[in-house]
């Protein structure tokens, strides 16, 4: 039984059981209860006397803080799942949006969705039943869910790295085989995290098979997960700086100098898109020290979870809902549906001009046809157009 302070293990009828006072009371005394036919008795000595209890506002404040943080990131992940599901459906249902660039976006969206779903499942395993969490009884399902949660996080970082490599390669090379790279992207981005998780799971099972595997008793086991994450972040920083260098070099062309102000606006816009796509905000938290003060830890945790939980929503907005190609296709389908509602019923005829006319010749729509042309024209390239 969990009484909000101690876990009381199974006992025989009439047995008296002692449990130490909770650590935040700073007392070495014990609390005692009797096992009766009607269940556990009240503490034999009141808690105030046994543990020298005095009301501590910091304990209440800390409980409220974690409640607010959990509510915040739950709302953020929910918003991300809904927006990413809609964005993925749009990319899958509209045939004109089927291209390698959008296939990579879909994989990234799926990794964000899996990350959120498994975090929800992890929380349900850890926090729904407090007796399971506090009384050291953790079924295998709890550990399996935590493994899949960590796997989805690693896969998410992998696909953020793929997006960085894809955009950098597309802008720095004249010729780039999109389909050939897509196969390797899928194999590596879903396969490598699986290898890491198997290694981490074996280490946990043999050296730290405690609780629900969320504790960090041996730091080297934690680094099995942390090293791939740090590597992906660092490599994406290199890609990010390389793309910015290419963009700045484009500003020095004679064409760009005639429109200097507009080009700098496009550079700022491209940088913002890259930060969201590559997850550059993670660099702020990746090398944060382990031991910090309580207030710094609370601010850091809140900021990190707020950005992480809503990143999927931001990515869906920028790379689907604000995409000119997507907006045009949705509007075209909507106009076509409105037109069919007002026409009399007649045999359906195929008019290729209806489906092909009016397509805006934006850089986004032209990209799949000639990916290398952007890097060879010498014109200032907007990264948002490439993405």
Alpha-carbon distance of 330 to 360, in angstroms, equals 13
**What is the per-residue pLDDT across 22-69, written as a single tens digit (0 to 9) for each?**
766 667 778 888 888 888 888 887 777 777 765 555 666 777 888 899
pLDDT score, position 129: 61
The CB density around residue 133, as the number of other CB atoms within 10 Å, is 19
**Band of pLDDT at residue 372, cut at 50, 70 and 90:** very low
Mean pLDDT, the chain, rounded, equals 77
Residue pair 138/132 in contact (Cβ under 8 Å)? The answer is yes
**What is the per-residue pLDDT across 271-280, written as a single tens digit (0 to 9) for each?**
666 766 666 6
Give mean pLDDT, residues 66-87: 94
Residue pair 235/245 in contact (Cβ under 8 Å)? The answer is no
Residue pair 200/150 in contact (Cβ under 8 Å)? The answer is yes
pLDDT score, position 377: 37
**What is the per-residue pLDDT across 135-152, written as a single tens digit (0 to 9) for each?**
666 678 888 888 999 999
Domain residue spans of the chain: 1-54, 57-336
Alpha-carbon distance of 251 to 254, in angstroms, equals 8
pLDDT score, position 219: 84
**What is the per-residue pLDDT across 219-248, written as a single tens digit (0 to 9) for each?**
889 899 989 988 988 888 888 888 888 877
CATH of span 57-336 = 1.20.1070.10
Residue pair 82/310 in contact (Cβ under 8 Å)? The answer is no
Alpha-carbon distance of 60 to 67, in angstroms, equals 11
pLDDT above 90 covers a percentage of the chain that reads 22
Quote the distance between the C-alpha of residue 232 and its chain's center.
14
Residue pair 309/76 in contact (Cβ under 8 Å)? The answer is yes
Spatial CB neighbours of 11, under 8 Å, sequence gap ≥ 6: 17, 35
State in words which class domain 1-54 has: few secondary structures
């Amino acid at each position: 039984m969990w009484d909000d302070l101690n876990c009381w293990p199974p006992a025989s009828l009439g047995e008296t059981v002692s449990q130490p006072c909770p650590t935040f009371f700073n007392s070495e005394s014990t609390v005692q209860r009797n096992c009766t036919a009607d269940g556990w008795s009240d503490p034999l000595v009141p808690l105030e006397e046994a543990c020298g209890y005095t009301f501590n506002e910091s304990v209440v404040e800390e409980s409220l803080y974690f409640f607010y943080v959990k509510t915040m990131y739950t709302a953020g992940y929910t918003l991300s799942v809904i927006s990413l599901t809609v964005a993925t459906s749009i990319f899958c249902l509209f045939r004109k949006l089927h291209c390698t660039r959008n296939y990579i976006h879909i994989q990234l969206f799926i990794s964000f969705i899996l990350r959120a779903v498994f975090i929800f499942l992890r929380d349900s395993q850890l926090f729904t039943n407090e007796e399971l969490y506090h009384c050291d009884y953790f079924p295998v399902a709890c550990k399996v869910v935590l493994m899949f949660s960590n796997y989805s996080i690693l896969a998410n970082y992998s696909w953020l790295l793929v997006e960085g490599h894809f955009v950098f390669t597309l802008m720095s090379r004249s010729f780039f085989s999109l389909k050939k790279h897509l196969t390797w992207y899928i194999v590596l981005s879903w396969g490598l995290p699986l290898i890491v998780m198997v290694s981490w799971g074996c280490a946990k099972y043999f050296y730290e098979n405690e609780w629900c595997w969320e504790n960090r008793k041996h730091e080297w086991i934690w680094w099995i997960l942390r090293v791939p994450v740090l590597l992906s972040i660092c490599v994406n920083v290199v890609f990010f700086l390389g793309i910015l260098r290419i963009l700045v070099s484009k500003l020095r062309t004679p064409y760009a100098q005639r429109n200097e102000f507009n080009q700098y606006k496009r550079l700022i816009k491209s940088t913002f898109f890259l930060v969201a796509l590559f997850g550059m905000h993670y660099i702020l938290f990746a090398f944060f020290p382990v031991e910090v003060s309580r207030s710094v830890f609370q601010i850091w945790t809140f900021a990190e979870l707020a950005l992480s939980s809503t990143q999927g929503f931001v990515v869906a907005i920028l790379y689907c809902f604000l995409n000119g190609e997507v907006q045009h296709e949705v509007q075209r389908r909507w106009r076509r549906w409105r037109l069919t509602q007002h026409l009399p019923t007649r045999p359906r005829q195929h008019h290729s001009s209806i489906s092909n006319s009016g397509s805006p010749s934006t850089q986004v729509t032209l990209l799949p046809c000639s990916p290398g042309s952007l890097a060879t024209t010498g014109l200032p390239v907007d990264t948002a157009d490439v993405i």
